[in-house]
Chain A
Amino acid sequence: MATETTAQGDSGGLSFHPMDQFIVKPLFGDGPVHWYTITNVTLWMALSVLVIAALLVFGTRSRAIVPNRSQSIAELAYGFIYKMVEDVAGKDGVKYFPYIMTLFMFIVVANFLGLLPTAFTTTSHIAVTAILAFAVFITVTVIGFAKNGKAFLNLFWVASAPLALRPILAVIEVISYFVRPVSHSIRLAGNLMAGHAVIKVFAGFAAIAAIAPFSIIAVTAIYGLEVLVAFIQAYVFTILTCVYLKDALHPSH
């Protein structure tokens, strides 16, 4: 969110750099960013791992029958995702629960960490969400063929439609199937990037004294919205993963 970068330009006019918060830079030194370089991406992803460990491992260390606060939250997250997987993907989807829980916990924690002022939002990058989405896409497609063989193709052949319509529907189904990872990834990255950029733009207007109060109110309001978006986008990403998994396990319409 990096609101401190809304500095005024040399001419005294407004200068907006709403995208600077998304720059990847090395944590130590100014060298080029290699694949192994420790960058702000590394820092904020490591923080998300620490938060998840604190919540789900450290928080549940007492294994209490009557849970304390942190254990309650961990159990709530567990029950929330477990029930989602069971309800959407079915009983046989439950064995993929750890993978889906991993996705959800990473996205939700990274989203909320990104809301901290001066934080770097890892999930606002299409490179990150595309990997997540393609991982889901490839895994689900492999599971679909491994579980159902050729019957998985029934997903594209709508048996309940009139015969004349089926080829057309098949084309539409195939296109929608391959668009899934694109929409899946851009939805998450786009929502977060847009919200964070909008906050920066509003913050930039605060340089003008007359507009500053409105700017602050707007930033506050958008921030509230972003808190909602942070959770909802994690939820949407996870439930869509469950839906795709359901299609792979039970391809018939």
Chain B
Amino acid sequence: MATETTSEAVGSCVGADGSAIGLPQLCFDWFPNQIFWLLVTLAAIYFLLSRIALPRIGAVLAERQGTITNDIAAAEELKAQADEAEKAYDKALADARAEAQRIAAETRAEIQVELDKAIAAADAQIAEKTGESEAAIAEIRASALESVTEVARDTAQAIVSALGGTADDAAVSAAVEKQTKG
């Protein structure tokens, strides 16, 4: 890089053609310059880092750590809330089911009672109707028997007359009575 430097004033470490004589690293003429500027540089970097950069980055990292910790805590809390809500939901569901079953059973029992009542009423009605019908049938049967006796008497009288006899009403009646009863 230093080929353009042709001045002899540069020192004993650079030749007349601008190239280095020996190791430039061991040229003691340059040491004070390098050391001085190194100390200035290190002081500047140390100032930048310790006053501005490192506290800032440290604060950002701490803040991020805090945010992450908070977020995790918040997430755990929300998870706990969600678990609680699920538990409450399950409980409500179970309660509702139990309630529904209870209402169903109650309703069933009510319906059963009404049904029993209705059946009883119907049975009573049926029994009444049956009694009435039996009475009617007995009446009809009785009247039918009477009619049979009458028809038999008339028929017997007619047969007796036809056979040229004189029908004795009382005898015919007795005979018919005897036959029909027997």
Contacts and interface: CB of A to CB of B under 8 A. Distances in A.
Contacts of A120: 1
Contacts of A75: 57, 60-61
A49 interface: yes
Interface in B26-77: 26-27, 29-42, 44-46, 48-50, 52-54, 56-61, 63-64, 67
A20 B45 contact: no
A145 interface: no
Nearest to A19: B20
Contacts of B41: 45-46, 48-49, 106
B2 interface: yes
A105 B26 CA distance: 25
Given A49-B45, A57-B48, A35 B25 contact: no
Contact of B24 (A7, A24, A118): A24
Interface string B1-32: 11101110111011000111001111101111
Quick one: which of B2, B3, B9, B64 has the most chain A CB within 10 A?
B2
A213 interface: no
A119 B64 CA distance: 39
Interface string A117-145: 01010101111100110000000000000
User: What class of interface size applies to chain A in its complex with B?
Assistant: 35 or more
B58 to A, nearest CB: 7
A71 B31 CA distance: 36
Nearest to B28: A127
Contact of B45 (A52, A65, A74, A127): A52
Contacts of A2: 1
B67 A126 contact: no
Given A25-B2, A41-B33, A122-B38, A79 B61 contact: yes
A148 interface: no
A151 to B, nearest CB: 30
B25 A126 contact: yes
Quick one: which of A57, A67, A71 has the most chain B CB within 10 A?
A57
A60 interface: yes
A65 B3 contact: no
Given A56-B57, A64-B60, A20 B19 contact: yes
A23 B45 contact: no
Nearest to A62: B60
A17 B3 contact: yes
Given A64-B60, A102-B49, A127-B30, A32 B10 contact: yes
A75 to B, nearest CB: 6
Quick one: which of A34, A35, A40 has the most chain B CB within 10 A?
A35
Interface string A37-50: 10111100110110
B20 to A, nearest CB: 4
B46 to A, nearest CB: 5
Interface stretch (A93-101, A153-161, A169-177, A232-240): A93-101
B98 to A, nearest CB: 50
Contacts of B64: 65
A125 B34 contact: yes
Contacts of A52: 45, 48-49, 53
Interface string A50-89: 0011001100100111010001001100110000000000
Pairs of residues from A and B, 4 with the lowest C-beta to C-beta distance, nearest first: A35-B32, A56-B53, A30-B7, A22-B24
30 contacts: A5-B3, A17-B19, A19-B20, A20-B19, A23-B2, A23-B14, A25-B5, A30-B6, A32-B11, A33-B29, A33-B33, A35-B33, A39-B37, A41-B37, A48-B41, A49-B44, A49-B48, A60-B56, A63-B59, A65-B64, A74-B57, A75-B57, A75-B60, A102-B42, A102-B49, A105-B45, A106-B41, A120-B1, A125-B30, A131-B35
Given A48-B45, A106-B45, A118-B1, 10 more contacts: A20-B2, A30-B6, A31-B9, A32-B10, A39-B30, A48-B41, A65-B60, A79-B61, A127-B38, A128-B35
